[in-house]
Structure 1
Amino acid sequence: MTVTQLDRFFHITERGSTFRREIVAGLVTFVSIVYIIIVNPGILKAAGIPYEACMAATIVTAAIGCIIMGGYANRPFAVATYMGENAFVAYTVVGVLHYPWQAALGAVFVSGILLVVLTLTGWRSVMSEAVPASLKLSFSVGIGLFLAFVGLIDAGIVVVGSGSVPVEIGNLHTPAVLLAIMGFVLTGILIVKKVPAAILVGILATAGLAFAFGAAPLPTGVVSLPPDISPTFLQLDLSGVFTLGMFPVVLTLFTMMFLDTMGTLIGLGARAGFLDRDGNIPDVQKPFLADALATTAGGLLGTTTNGVFVESAAGIEQGGRTGLVAIVVGGLLLLALFFAPLFSAIPALATGPVLILVGLMMLQPVTRIDFSDYAEVIPAFTVIVMMSFTYNIGVGMCAGFVLWPVFAAVKGKFREIPPACWALCVLCLLFFVFYPY
């Protein structure tokens, strides 16, 4: 396709972007999420899932989700394996409950099918549109703080506490942390000066300094053969999924997936300017279907729940506004099958500072929350702090959906509460009750 044809297909000019800007935004998003191809199989290895096969499954599943998101939904959102859900499978479903990883993949597949059905029947869109405005605003703010916290951890500026405090400042004497701080300042300066591709330049410059000063290991190679996916391909076990014992597992995976994607889409959509006057994303069933199909594919290929990645905010801040961004990410992910040593060498200290700054940019909607109305602000505040302090977007959203109808009813707005809000409230209550802590 020519540039003109791409422009017409993705409506690039119509959305106020350019071909070059979309490509750069895709590169930025890819660099921000590429860690998942190493981290996800590393986590799921604890469940017994073969590392190399899981890496291939992670890459291929994410590429499928990104291509559907870009080509069908025309949204600049990357899709990849969710952090949190993978740890839940590895350390709780397999580690604590002692289910085999094949059964866990079966639960992932079933949750994906349920999401596909809800999407195609329109119920997922109905529930998304019923979310109160104050909660929609809180999603963006909560995700912003969540991203900033992730970035601080990745950069080593904040570390797990060694004493009675849960977290504390990192060792600022270490080269890696100093370089991360330099990367934060440098990227901030580039953004202030409105340098084109400021975020991408900041990541690459920080990574280059890390390699030069020995704060991060150089790539072990450039080209490699794609990992063998056969040890996990179609190895899911459905026979044990439809049992009473597996109900909490399926419910937890389904609820976290359902709410994570809803909140992330609304939060990113708000930042990208996609929301309509009612705070909804037009044609939201399309991006919903992309992540549901990716999760279903993940269960078949050998990885856990997939969905819209919050790090897509990095590409949005770079100016990405169309599905071409997601297509670029999907294409680079497929290339990563052959260049895994090169792509996986990008250190967290280079992407962490960018996530902090992107988190800052997503805080703007907090000014639109009515802090004089405590019936609105208490649920919204709960969403924001629970997302950050539990390190789980889904948990924060669940808390908000439980509290909002309660406070609305107390304020005398019982008749104004949409039935879909009560449905979300019940779903989230079930999540908290049956979650296998």
Structure 2
Amino acid sequence: MSSFFRFHERETSYKQETIAGLTTFLSMAYILIVNPIILSQAGMDKGAVFTATALSAIIGSLLIGLLSNYPIGIAPSMGLNSFFTFSVCIGMGIPWQTALTGVFVSGILFVILSLLKIREKIINIIPKDLKHAIAGGIGFFIAFIGLKNAGLIVGNEATFVAIGDFKSPVTLLAVFCFILTIVLMVRGVKGAIFYGMVISAAAGMLIGLIDKPEKIVGAIPSLEPTFGEVFLNIDQIFTPEMLAVIFTFLFVAFFDTAGALIAIASQAGLMKNNEIPNAGKALLADSSATVVGSVLGTSTTASMIESSSGIAAGGRTGFTSVIISACFAIALFFSPLLGVITAEVTSPALIIVGALMAMEVKHIDWGKLEIAIPAFVTILMMPLTFSVATGIALGFILYPITMLALKRPKEIHPIMYGLCIAFMGYFVYLA
């Protein structure tokens, strides 16, 4: 096992990988609660979605760990489950069964693109500075999510955002968790993020801020209400409306996953010569999980940016993903316990990991405007638009433009020009 996952080469151990897997799982566990809540608003059965969410995470995380040897967790994407429910089902009036078929078709297209190594090729031709910008931008983005979930940053009509209410007990719990984790990290405690979350959850229950679970073990809900519904609506996807939906699923998932993969590989020190080893296998695992998940009854899966918390805890190999998969399997039986992993407990981890990922910006050549401006826009627009894909798209548009302005077109791969035009078309479509 140690040889298969190359523990010696990546300077890791069973203990380090296990702690990393547990850390990532705790950071991702909210998806088991939130995904059923969001998709149920589209008319789907909560229990069936819970089981489908867990099973897709089990399969996806196991596949990416065994095929690519990356410490990444895969689960239904938070952005795409909201798009599925609020834009497609509620906004466009498309039944969830048909929308799920759209997810299935986009997943099949993903698998084909992965097998043909088109996705891998696109990721590897991204300029080095933009790769660092994507990694750093995702750091700012997840830190913003953490600040928002902790109540440290709130909405404000006059200024858009403002400082939160420090009289709120749950916000104070998040601050306690944040400071505790920082202290453990700067003192060099391995698995500091994991220990910080566990201690904070225990403290929250002790003082009554987090409800204690009424029971430990719960029955696994049936998949019957959602399983196989995708095959009953294939004939309904060949409409302009549904083709646009499929394209959006394809576009957002492609670049969300690409961004996460670049950020995670960079953070873990796995990127070599500006390329990500085994990227094709990682992308194949991700797209296969989307196909399986849609058949089971959940929206598009993606490589979770929360995986960076496990990497910060020491995860370096696919054994971390195996542990994540095992945790999701156990969670099927212990669903009542998941309620103690609240936003106040996980959000400080996201803030800290965001800081670690933001360190990638030091590798950007800030002395050159043709690089600095596209990189800056990529970083800034991820948190401001609440979308990794949008930040990447804007950077991909600006970078070729700045290089053309300097009459250096040959320094840009032809695929980058194609993506620049495609993204321009995408924004025209959105408008």
Common fold by TM > 0.5: yes
Distance of 1:426 and 1:210 partners within structure 2? 50
Distance of 1:399 and 1:44 partners within structure 2? 29
In structure 2, the residue corresponding to 1:367 is in which secondary structure?
A: helix
Conservation of the 8 A alpha-carbon contact between 2:51 and 2:222 = yes
1:214 to 208, 213, 217: 208
User: Runs of 5+ in structure 2 lacking a partner?
Assistant: none
Post-superposition Cα deviations, 1:56-115, rounded to whole Å, max 9, x if no partner, equal 111101111001011111110000111111111111111111111111111111111111
Distance of 1:196 and 1:395 partners within structure 2? 35
In structure 2, the residue corresponding to 1:242 is in which secondary structure?
A: coil
2:251 to 242, 246, 255: 255
Distance of 2:287 and 2:234 partners within structure 1? 18
Of stretches 69-78 and 416-425 in structure 1, the one that deviates more from structure 2 is 416-425
1:105 to 97, 100, 120: 100
Post-superposition Cα deviations, 1:270-321, rounded to whole Å, max 9, x if no partner, equal 11001112x2111210101010001111211111111110000010011110
TM-superposed CA distance for 1:239, in Å, is 1.7
In structure 2, the residue corresponding to 1:160 is in which secondary structure?
A: strand
TM-superposed CA distance for 1:415, in Å, is 2.5
In structure 1, the residue corresponding to 2:396 is in which secondary structure?
A: helix
TM-superposed CA distance for 1:21, in Å, is 0.3
Conservation of the 8 A alpha-carbon contact between 1:291 and 1:306 = yes
Which letter does structure 2 place at the counterpart of 1:315?
G
Conservation of the 8 A alpha-carbon contact between 1:255 and 1:427 = no
Conservation of the 8 A alpha-carbon contact between 2:97 and 2:229 = yes
Which letter does structure 2 place at the counterpart of 1:216?
I
TM-superposed CA distance for 1:416, in Å, is 2.4
Partner of 2:71: 76
Within 5 Å, which residues of 2 pair with 1:22-101? 22-101=17-96
Distance of 1:377 and 1:335 partners within structure 2? 46
Conservation of the 8 A alpha-carbon contact between 1:139 and 1:384 = yes
Distance of 1:393 and 1:367 partners within structure 2? 20
TM-superposed CA distance for 1:152, in Å, is 0.7
Partner of 1:116: 111
In the superposition, the TM-score normalised over structure 1's length comes to 0.96
Distance of 1:274 and 1:195 partners within structure 2? 23
In structure 2, the residue corresponding to 1:223 is in which secondary structure?
A: coil
Partner of 2:137: 142
2:267 to 271, 282, 288: 271
TM-superposed CA distance for 1:429, in Å, is 2.5
In structure 2, the residue corresponding to 1:344 is in which secondary structure?
A: helix
Distance of 2:191 and 2:240 partners within structure 1? 52
Aligned residue pairs total 429
1:396 to 391, 395, 417: 391
**Does structure 1 residue 226 correspond to structure 2 residue 203?**
no
Partner of 1:3: none
In structure 1, the residue corresponding to 2:241 is in which secondary structure?
A: coil
In structure 1, the residue corresponding to 2:162 is in which secondary structure?
A: strand
Q: 1:46 to 1:143 in 2, by over 3 A?
A: same
**Does structure 1 residue 184 correspond to structure 2 residue 181?**
no
In structure 1, the residue corresponding to 2:237 is in which secondary structure?
A: coil
Identical pairs, percent = 38
**Does structure 1 residue 385 correspond to structure 2 residue 377?**
no
Which letter does structure 1 place at the counterpart of 2:197?
I
Distance of 2:383 and 2:150 partners within structure 1? 17
Which letter does structure 1 place at the counterpart of 2:59?
I
TM-superposed CA distance for 1:24, in Å, is 0.6
Conservation of the 8 A alpha-carbon contact between 1:152 and 1:352 = yes
In the superposition, the TM-score normalised over structure 2's length comes to 0.97
1:280 to 266, 275, 281: 275
TM-superposed CA distance for 1:345, in Å, is 2.4
Distance of 1:391 and 1:231 partners within structure 2? 32
Partner of 2:242: 246
Conservation of the 8 A alpha-carbon contact between 1:211 and 1:217 = yes
TM-superposed CA distance for 1:159, in Å, is 1.7
TM-superposed CA distance for 1:369, in Å, is 1.0
Partner of 1:15: 10
Post-superposition Cα deviations, 1:171-213, rounded to whole Å, max 9, x if no partner, equal 1011111111111111000001111321111001111111111
Partner of 2:163: 169
Which letter does structure 2 place at the counterpart of 1:212?
L
Partner of 1:354: 349
Cα RMSD (Å): 1.2
Post-superposition Cα deviations, 1:332-352, rounded to whole Å, max 9, x if no partner, equal 101111111112321111111
Partner of 1:312: 307
Partner of 2:330: 335
